[in-house]
Chain A
Amino acid sequence: MPGDACIMGLFKDEAKAARVIPELAAAGFSFRRAHSPIPSHRILEALKLKKGRVGWFTLAGGIVGFFLGFALAIFTAVQWNLIVSGKPIVSLIPFFIVGFEFTILFSVFGNVIGLLVCSRLPDYRGLESYDPRCSGEHFGVLASCEAGREGELMDFFQKKGAEVKVFA
């Protein structure tokens, strides 16, 4: 909501940060996001998030690649239609190698695209409400509250043993 204040609690301890998240809601604050220097299972569990959707992109890429590889090999072979070493023009066994490599290549393309899309990268706006310490040793929990309750939120965080950072 506009006018809401964003306050981040910075925890040295992953466990504390994870524990805070459900309590925020109970205390009537709204949780925005958590920053961590390493992937944190505790936080993800606390948020009850299911697996990402990257895999679907990867799979799609793979399927495209597989057929593309075979298609290219067969199409080009048929175009020239030259016999080499007495082998048939379309020899699927050797073409499998092309198919395979293309499968991997395009799966990876899919994977990268998936990664960028799902985690919305590149995106530099996130840096505005972000504390560099979060890439160091701190686990940051960003929460917001209606105007006027900033104090409460800060106390809340401090009670939990966090340093507090306020974003205008």
Chain B
Amino acid sequence: MNRRTFLKLASLSSVSFAAGCSPESPKHLYSLVQAPDNMVTGKATWYASTCRECPAGCGVIARNRESRAVKLEGNPLHPLNRGKLCMRGQAALQAVYHPDRLRSPLLREKDGFTPIGFEQARALLKEKAWAAARKGPDRVRLLTETVGESQTALFQTALRNWNSRPPLVYEPYAYEALKTANREVFGVDGLVSYRMDRADVLLSFGAEFLETWLSPVEYAWKFKAMHAAAGTHKGLFFLVGPLQTLTGANADYWLGCAPGSEAVVALGLVRRMLDLHRGRHLAPALRQALLQATDGHSQETVLKLSGIPLDGYERLVGRLAEAKLPLVLGCGSGLSDENGLRTNLAANLLNLVLDPELKLIDTARRHRVETAGRRVEVLELFKTIAAGGADLLLLNNVNPVFSLPPENGAASALDRPDLFVVSLTSFLDETAQRADLILPVKLPLETWDDYCGWSDVVSMIQPAMGALSQAPHLGDLFLEAGFEGEPPAPDFKAYLARRLQTQGRIRDELEWLRALQQGGVFPPTGPTIAGAAPLSLAQQLPAALATPYSPPSAAGLAFAAVPSVRLFDGRGANKPWLCEIPDPISRVAWQSPVRMHPDTAGARGLQSADIVTVRSHGGSLEAPVFVTEVVRPGLLVMETGQGHGAYGRYAEKVGANPFALLSAATHPGCGGPSSLLAEVTLESTGRRLKLANTDGSRTQHGRAFILTTTPAELLKGGPPAKTGLTMDNFPLTLPLPEGYDPKRDFYPPHDHDHYRWGMAVDLDRCIGCGACAAACYAENNIGIVGETRITQGREMAWLEIVRYHDERRMQRVMFMPMLCQHCDNAPCESVCPVYAPHHSAEGLNNQIYNRCIGTRFCSQNCPYKVRRFNWFDWEWPEPLNLQLNPDVTVRSKGVMEKCSFCIQRIKEARTRAKNENRPIREGEVLPACVQTCPTDALVFGNLMDKDSRVRRLCDDPRAYQAMGYLNTKPAVIYLKKVLHEV
């Protein structure tokens, strides 16, 4: 939807929010004689809110149909995510409609939990709290997820009333090292934001900013702003680290260093830059200090310790030295150990050396997750509790039992008999299981709140749908329980409004409404105050830099747990979409394989799908092997998120939990944990597991699916190469009459009726994040088939991110969104005996479900293999079915289906255009995948309109069609990926 319609609808909706929305779906259908004035049956209304799937806080708009939120999209007005949303954001809906969502509070009794009424539960909470408060100071403790300022304020007041200290924010990934480094170098004890979009050279030591690091959607668009090929120019992205995650896979150069040796490289680079006279503007004293500190980091030592090849290192040094606006990012979220801290310190210093004004570092615009407590504080809390230091523990939607290494004894602390644990969650996860009272509260899509992903924005959270349960709003709960006398406000909505007013964020009712309409109060876009120069950097450098690096024993295997782009720290694991969409690197769904380099596997006679046992001092787990070149030899890598013992039908007993291996130790310097283990043992169980992978071959055998080019080639330009009929020289043949040539085509061209829909896919912009795939699942009611069926090759994804390794350099990974190509000469059409697939007047390759009899010939004859067959009737356990898009048929068993270019959206746009009797505007139709793509890699439009963006992209020298030489004349035009010469 475009901005205007959004505003129209939003204003319509938010005036009288979710009123008239009923909890249950009606058994009988009655015509609405008096419909609520904001609800027109069959017409969607949109509510602006904020995504709370991770601490980033992207703005969303929820599509509401007959009081049910059926789709989430990024809020186009929100400065942080600019209308885009990631995979996890898309899947937030499935939490609301989750079949295992708790409908009523549960109270622990001798024989397990018994459901009780909400009134009783709220009373119990209040009673317990005040009882504890009377006992003395700090008898009530609150461990919460990251929440907005208003909620925090309320927490604090309530806890103060209970005569206890402020809440502690628990995030498994709390960026302790980064915060410390920022404090030491920038004098900012928090998480600054980066103006990555303006950088020309980007160097990361492992920060997975396209997946989970700080604010993935924001950094995705910023990254492509600097890294997408603009004409012949393209920014550079170096990765130094022992492994590639999705972010690493987008690096132009991966310098694989020994696990734990990033700091050495970073400091080595500081030294080289100083030697190369970058940062001569620094205070001489500081320069001296730096030179001293980096004395031991001559190029030789660096190369020796890190194992980086010389040529790669020199290229990095060269490009960095001549960069105009370079930006250096530290290491990954999980690394807050010695190495992590030193790397982040060195990275910050490197930024300082390279650009003394720190133009790309915005210390004023801060990421909200900075409020998260350090791991050491969290452990302290559990120690206190274990020692009987509290009577009441409130847990707000956190799952430490799952995400803390078992040694930390979180579980045992909770089990303490004299402690009353209240878990404010809607799902029975590992932590809730140990609570005495589980009190479900409304989920973000149903509640009132605000959030500030950036410290300078207020992002509103408002109910986007009818209530599915009687659960209270979190705020109301605390207003009720936290005040003996008259609470400061009748309900949290009022509290919120008042607070925003006192804060001066809004002035009056009107601004409140505007805030609700637009999704928040946003600063004028553009940078805030320029990055402050380092304030407090004392002339002597942080002590951490002094400590020398000791390489781990060569023999041992290292183990790294990395946050998953799909499941994050595990909170995504109960959402079927996220489990079903395969991991971008391994293309394995549902399972949690342990990645290792072919050499590592070969040396132990292992191959993919062998089940191995990984043992550490902390614990052990079993997982299937996945062999890949994007990990350094001697390192095992697992993604976090799977391996739940509870947390609902979709998460339970799926995969393994790498947190269980990690060590409980925290770093004295920054008080953070480490997700890297220097020493684990690996043994084969002799068993094998059929991997639920959706890919066939990992390389494309020289076929014309993903094509690449180089800036040099683009620069050359020149006349188009001689065309022929082979895979390599077949010309671009548009799915339009001009695309036909008697020399190639046996049949005459055919015309279309005003529109010929087509899509352009810029492979250079695609980062492989899979947001499009998730959006497609959400929009088109695509069935979830589960692990076994995927192993049988029955996945249903209409749009999949194909992952290929570069045959010449296996460690280079490339991504390609593969969807129905809506060919002009579609091979699938003529083979169908009943015309179920056929060519529409607007060039779409229609698939008529009711007509399909399931011969499956179309799929056999599709060279792109994008057609999906309903082998069974798929299930949407209640109330998941409430999420189904009313505009899209739910397919029954025995019929073929595939991408329709979101034909329902095309039809909606056509109706609108018809009523206003005008043609459909450029950009008026946005298929779900196009709408959500964080990097704008997908462009949809009318190929018959010479000025449409998609048509203009067809003239780009990088334009080509996948396997075009089959002369199917696809309407999906790919743009070659631009690779910097290797």
Contacts and interface: CB of A to CB of B under 8 A. Distances in A.
A and B touch in the complex (CB under 8 A): yes
Interface of A: 80, 82-88, 91
Contacts of A88: 747-748
B756 to A, nearest CB: 13
23 contacts: A80-B835, A82-B835, A82-B838, A82-B839, A83-B829, A83-B838, A84-B826, A84-B829, A84-B830, A84-B832, A84-B835, A84-B837, A85-B826, A85-B827, A85-B830, A85-B839, A86-B749, A86-B750, A86-B825, A86-B826, A86-B839, A87-B747, A88-B748
B68 to A, nearest CB: 36
B367 interface: no
Contacts, number: 35
Contacts of B803: none
Interface of B: 747-750, 824-827, 829-830, 832, 835, 837-839, 969
A112 B553 CA distance: 91
Contacts of B838: 82-84
Contacts of B839: 82-86
B832 A86 contact: no
A82 B646 CA distance: 53
A80 B834 CA distance: 11
A91 B825 CA distance: 15
Given A82-B839, A86-B825, 7 more contacts: A82-B835, A83-B829, A84-B829, A84-B830, A84-B837, A84-B838, A86-B826
Nearest to A77: B835
A84 B747 CA distance: 11
A58 B829 CA distance: 37
Is the contact region of chain B dominated by helix, strand, or loop, or is it mixed? loop
A78 to B, nearest CB: 13
A83 B830 CA distance: 9
Contacts of A85: 825-827, 829-830, 839
A87 B826 CA distance: 10
4 closest residue pairs by CB, A with B: A85-B830, A84-B829, A86-B825, A83-B839
B826 to A, nearest CB: 6
B835 A87 contact: no
A76 to B, nearest CB: 10
Contact of B969 (A83, A86, A87, A91): A86
Contacts of A80: 835
A163 B748 CA distance: 78
A61 B345 CA distance: 93
Contacts of B824: 86
A80 B840 CA distance: 12
Contacts of B969: 86
Interface centre among A82, A88, A91 (most CB of B within 10 A): A82
Contacts of A83: 750, 829, 838-839
Contacts of B748: 88
Contacts of A91: 747
Contacts of B830: 84-85, 87
B824 to A, nearest CB: 6
Contacts of B749: 86
A85 B838 CA distance: 8
Nearest to A91: B747
Nearest to A87: B747
B171 to A, nearest CB: 54
A164 B233 CA distance: 112
Contacts of B832: 84
Contacts of A86: 747, 749-750, 824-826, 839, 969
A88 B745 CA distance: 12
B896 to A, nearest CB: 15
Contacts of A82: 835, 838-839
Nearest to A93: B746
Interface centre among A82, A83, A85, A86 (most CB of B within 10 A): A86
Interface centre among A82, A83, A85, A91 (most CB of B within 10 A): A85
A95 B111 CA distance: 75
A41 B394 CA distance: 109
Nearest to B969: A86
A88 B750 CA distance: 9
B840 to A, nearest CB: 9
